[in-house]
Structure 1
């Protein structure tokens, strides 16, 4: 393993922002990259202007009665989910709470916003869809739970963690979520697909022996990939739930999964990243379908503790880890380009905007860093979200 203190790659923060009183759990950037939202153990979310030369906190969102677990930014509003079982919608200009969504009976795990609706998964074994249009919310009367709920997706036997939406084609009927396919992953070791409009469960993806922690699809949305605490990844036909392949090799629980073109990247609790080739053709044949075991193309250990997120940006993997570091790694050569040094406790989340990477930590700080230049050109540019690690090889 190479030295993490090399002067060539050791990087220090441009800014360290200590506004939160407790650890930062999550963050999200606006689509145009001008705003950043952080959610914290201190029960608040903060809005940051990241469009100028210096990062500035321009608003504090207070109202949750327990720690914030997830955030999303869409257009002119922000959505937060918390351990108090509620979601809140906030205005990006005033940071006023526009609506409080009640109805879940357990901690919120994940929140997504499509523009048509908000989707949330929870420890209460359900996923709920909520109205987001201001005109609709203003006309809702009463204090009843689920008053803004469009539908509840029920079927999982334990907490629901991972969540994704495969959007359908637009229709002329104005039906909310027409053609949308929702996929959820649960502590019950299964994933499920749902028709949004009917709320019906279409398929149950069975095979894992541990919590399904991450779900992604291929570029055509025909193959579903599920990553699990059982140390494996599985590929499935998304319409039939036929299990084509099981990707084996991790020695610890998988924490994150990233799909890009013909490759999968996965990170685990030991700080290892594995890269998988997913170009093989999977077809459904008559009779019993044999599940094929697949080993990774390569693996490397950039971190010494759990990888909490991986992003791919401009041909570089950005990795954050519980070993207190963030790192930039050349995706093609696996050369460590930067070791971001400064956090005192685990780095939990990150976002990339413009020429900067933003990291949040259990140490309560938001830190800002320069994105390094790649030492070799090649590889196409792309971006996505997941975990980080340290340097060295398996």
Structure 2
């Protein structure tokens, strides 16, 4: 079965920014010989959308629909990324699966045997994957090669390593009687984010490292937190790191936060967003305008801060704290004024942000059979809603259509706009 959209629910346009060739997403059977070995593909389970319709808000204005359950991972799904026409999902089982939109069929696999995957991001025609073995792997995406996702380097690069290993000043103490080069992470890399030609990596070794995409060189290593770094996000010149020490720290380059200074300039601490005492902050997200920052904690709370500019100085004030889940918040994502939170209680919370930055619940999505570990949302507007992708410890990737907040008349008008063909 194939998911199709009616005239009243236009299918989102899927761009292909990571493809180095302008070919279309459809490929002939002769050009897909390498991927044919993955067929027949483990089929995704397309659910009856109408029967799955469920009202989510107390006022009855919000809904979600389960579109697909994708299986195929050998371990729990740990991270997701949207990559042009593809959805990338990675697991603790070391495998990365590429799903092709809009039919959500498995396109290929890559990365097997390279260590449990903890995070992945895309930049240009490259995919960066962070692993439990404390390395970052770089994959080039190209339609010109049969091996569409090809491993091209590992960070730190051999060139970077050889340029530093002979000098003692380049070594740092990582634990008792053990030293490493400062360009190396000493423990699992838990998170990645991309911003203006740079890759930022956070690790259980409590550090934040900065890498330049153009030459893959490590520029900086920051002793960021007193415990593991769990989440990273960047916006408007500020990098936010969430940690198991219960803090979110804001980092920026010297000078004005919007400065276009060179990528080699160092970062400094701009502020600390305090969470609850004795909890871990597992994830952090920021609004597109950089004004609102939200952190998800191990106590089930979502906390929100507002950015305040005092002359040339930045500060953040707490504007909301709400018990969002019965168990730890493990992941979050923002789509406009909608915030989605995934939890160890197996549910996904859907929240709406008001003009003061406060959030209120408009829905709860049930369906996962284990904790929800990662979330990604598409910014494409689909029938007055958006597509939400969730990965869980139940080894599944699930696809949801989530309605945006609107009046009930408009909701009812579009209720039958998604059909099966």
Q: Does structure 2 retain, via aligned residues, the 8 Å contact 1:48–1:55?
A: no
Deviations 1:74-115 (CA, angstroms, capped at 9, x unpaired): 2344434333434455655794654633673x2111122334
Whole-angstrom CA distance in 2 between matches of 1:370 and 1:148: 35
Whole-angstrom CA distance in 2 between matches of 1:313 and 1:77: 19
Q: Does structure 1 retain, via aligned residues, the 8 Å contact 2:119–2:191?
A: yes
* 1:271 to partner: Cα distance: 1.1
Out of 298, 301, 305, which is 1:269 matched to? Answer: 298
- In structure 2, the CA distance between the partners of 1:151 and 1:301, relative to structure 1 (3 Å rule), is same
- In structure 2, the CA distance between the partners of 1:281 and 1:126, relative to structure 1 (3 Å rule), is farther
Whole-angstrom CA distance in 2 between matches of 1:283 and 1:164: 26
- In structure 2, the CA distance between the partners of 1:328 and 1:57, relative to structure 1 (3 Å rule), is closer
Whole-angstrom CA distance in 1 between matches of 2:392 and 2:330: 11
Residues 1:253 and 2:314 are matched in the alignment: no
- In structure 2, the CA distance between the partners of 1:68 and 1:218, relative to structure 1 (3 Å rule), is closer
Q: Does structure 1 retain, via aligned residues, the 8 Å contact 2:95–2:113?
A: yes
Out of 331, 334, 338, which is 1:316 matched to? Answer: 338
Match of 2:360 in 1: 335
* Local SS of the residue matching 2:331: strand
Match of 2:159 in 1: none
Match of 2:152 in 1: 149
Out of 365, 371, 377, which is 2:403 matched to? Answer: 371
- In structure 2, the CA distance between the partners of 1:232 and 1:320, relative to structure 1 (3 Å rule), is same
Match of 1:164 in 2: 193
* 1:301 to partner: Cα distance: 1.6
Match of 2:307 in 1: 278
- In structure 2, the CA distance between the partners of 1:72 and 1:49, relative to structure 1 (3 Å rule), is farther
Q: Does structure 2 retain, via aligned residues, the 8 Å contact 1:350–1:357?
A: no
Deviates more, 1:148-157 or 1:126-135: 148-157
* 1:372 to partner: Cα distance: 6.0
Residues 1:242 and 2:245 are matched in the alignment: no
Q: Does structure 2 retain, via aligned residues, the 8 Å contact 1:117–1:129?
A: yes
Match of 1:170 in 2: none
- In structure 2, the CA distance between the partners of 1:200 and 1:282, relative to structure 1 (3 Å rule), is farther
Whole-angstrom CA distance in 1 between matches of 2:185 and 2:311: 27
TM-score, normalising length: structure 1: 0.64
- In structure 2, the CA distance between the partners of 1:85 and 1:202, relative to structure 1 (3 Å rule), is same
Structure 2: gaps spanning 5 or more residues = 1-11, 16-40, 51-64, 157-182, 254-264, 408-421
* Local SS of the residue matching 2:359: coil
Match of 2:230 in 1: 213
Question: Higher helix share goes to which structure?
Answer: 2
Match of 2:205 in 1: 188
Bigger relative CO (Cα 8 Å, ≥ 6 apart): 2
Match of 1:37 in 2: none
Match of 2:242 in 1: 227
Whole-angstrom CA distance in 1 between matches of 2:315 and 2:104: 53
Query: Which has the greater radius of gyration?
Result: 2
Whole-angstrom CA distance in 1 between matches of 2:328 and 2:112: 33
- In structure 2, the CA distance between the partners of 1:249 and 1:31, relative to structure 1 (3 Å rule), is farther
* 1:259 to partner: Cα distance: 0.9
Deviates more, 1:265-274 or 1:201-210: 201-210
Whole-angstrom CA distance in 1 between matches of 2:227 and 2:391: 28
- Equivalences for residues 322-361 of structure 1 within 5 A: 322-332=344-354, 333-340=358-365, 345-352=370-377, 354=382, 355=385, 358=388
Q: Does structure 2 retain, via aligned residues, the 8 Å contact 1:45–1:68?
A: no
Deviations 1:113-157 (CA, angstroms, capped at 9, x unpaired): 3341111001111111112113245599xxxxxx73234235111
* Local SS of the residue matching 2:144: helix
